[in-house]
Amino acid sequence: MAATKSTTKTKGLFGVISSVAAATSAANGLRSARADGDKLALVNALGSAVVAVTGLLLAARALRGKR
């Protein structure tokens, strides 16, 4: 069953909101890891940033109406 256009846009908006929250969390983790000199936490924060960017790109695609 295909999603309606409004459902897709709603999912896109929720995707943007969750991506912004993930990016904020990643930035806080990055700041904390750099202050503590914790390399493992730094890698985790960078991975979280990649996930946030990917989520934002998927949300943008949903808002444009593609796919």
pLDDT over 70 at 67, yes or no: no
pLDDT over 60 at 40, yes or no: yes
Mean pLDDT confidence for 26-44? 95
| Every domain of the chain and the residues it spans | 7-62
> In which residue are the tokens 């109406």 written?
65
What mean pLDDT, rounded, does the chain reach? 88
Cα dihedral 6→12→13→18 (10° resolution): 150
Of the pLDDT bands very low, low, confident and very high (cuts 50, 70, 90), residue 2 is low
Mean pLDDT confidence for 24-43? 94
4 compared with 66, residue with greater pLDDT: 4
DSSP per residue, 5-59: HHHHHHHHHHHHHHHHHHHHHHHHHHHHHHHHT-HHHHHHHHHHHHHHHHHHHHH
Query: What crossing angle do the helices spanning 5-36 and 39-64 adopt, rounded to 10°?
Result: 160
